């Protein structure tokens, strides 16, 4: 089966602020094109040292709560040994240890199988790099 694995890069502009960017629609669009009703797995990966992928509820304050927790755990101050970029940028390089740079999700009948309130998001606290790439990869039979 030649199309059992398909991958694509999606460009995302996060701007100059910390953000939780919803990727769910981009994932759904990709799957409509490539899964064509099949079951499989979607892998979402950010090839950046300062960003992560999470599955959370959005637009209810949870995305802001996530950023607040990250501020508490990883303050943007001068404690970090990694010191180039904006003040506190070293914490951005620790972020992927807490918010992994990938997620693998089930695809059933060609659609992402998320819970009622779940969304796939890019978590980006790095204000110095507003342009991101996200690799979407579908493996299905």
Per the CATH hierarchy, to which homologous superfamily does domain 5-140 belong? Answer: YjbQ-like (2.60.120.460)
Residue 140: Cβ-neighbour burial (10 angstroms; 0-12, 13-18, 19+): buried
Q: What is the pLDDT of residues 84-106, one digit of tens each?
A: 888 888 999 999 999 999 999 99
Percentage of the chain lying above the pLDDT 90 cut? 85
Q: Average pLDDT of 3-22?
A: 94
pTM beyond 0.85: the answer is yes
Distance CA 141, CA 131 (A): 33
Segments making up each domain of the chain, as ranges: 5-140
Q: CA–CA distance from 70 to each of 2, 50, 73, 98, 125 (Å)?
A: 42, 13, 5, 9, 9
């Amino acid at each position: 089966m030649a199309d059992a694995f398909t991958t694509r890069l999606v460009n995302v502009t996060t701007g100059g602020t910390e953000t939780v960017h919803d990727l769910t629609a981009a994932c759904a669009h990709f799957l409509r094109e490539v899964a064509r009703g099949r079951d499989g797995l979607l892998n979402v990966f950010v090839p950046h040292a300062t960003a992560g992928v999470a599955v959370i509820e959005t637009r209810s304050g949870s995305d802001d709560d996530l950023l607040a927790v990250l501020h508490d755990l990883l303050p943007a101050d001068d404690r970090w040994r990694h010191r180039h970029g904006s003040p506190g940028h070293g914490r951005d390089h620790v972020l992927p240890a807490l918010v992994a740079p990938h997620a693998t999700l089930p695809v059933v009948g060609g659609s992402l199988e998320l819970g009622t309130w779940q969304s796939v998001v890019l978590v980006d606290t790095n204000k110095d790099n507003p342009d991101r790439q996200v690799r979407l990869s579908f493996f299905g039979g």
